[in-house]
Amino acid sequence: MKLLKIENNQGLYLVNDNDYAFLDKITKDDLMRLAEHSLNDDATFDEFDEGLIKNEAHKIIYKSVYDKLKELSERKNEFRDEYERQYLKEYEKYCTVPSTR
């Protein structure tokens, strides 16, 4: 699923399954949704290329959002491992409770 793309010299972000909107319209909720999607294995982005985006606002926003989402996507395994380790101790505690029979 392509979360960010460059088309017609403008930066766009995924609004829903098939629709994109201009980056200068992005909201905090949109950013949170994109961050969640970036943790999926199929998340992709158009590579940031300053020459392809003519709108200065789109260029600045795209670079910033792209860098953060790409970093999050690259670190998703690290986050998953940390999450699993955090709850492993409690999980093991309840799995090893002796039977009272």
Quick check: 97 pLDDT over 60?
no
Q: Is 92 helix (H, G, I), strand (E, B) or coil?
A: helix
Quick check: 80 pLDDT over 80?
no
**64 pLDDT band (50/70/90 cuts)?**
very high
Cα 37 from Cα 5, distance rounded (Å): 15
Quick check: 20 pLDDT over 60?
yes
Q: What is the pTM assigned to this prediction?
A: 0.75
**98 pLDDT band (50/70/90 cuts)?**
low
Sorted by where each begins, the domain ranges of the chain are 2-74
Region at 25 (left for phi over 0; alpha for psi -120 to 50; beta for the rest): alpha
Q: Which residue has the higher pLDDT, 76 or 10?
A: 10
Summarize pLDDT for 21-50 with one digit per residue, the tens: 999 999 999 999 999 999 887 889 999 999
Quick check: 56 pLDDT over 70?
yes
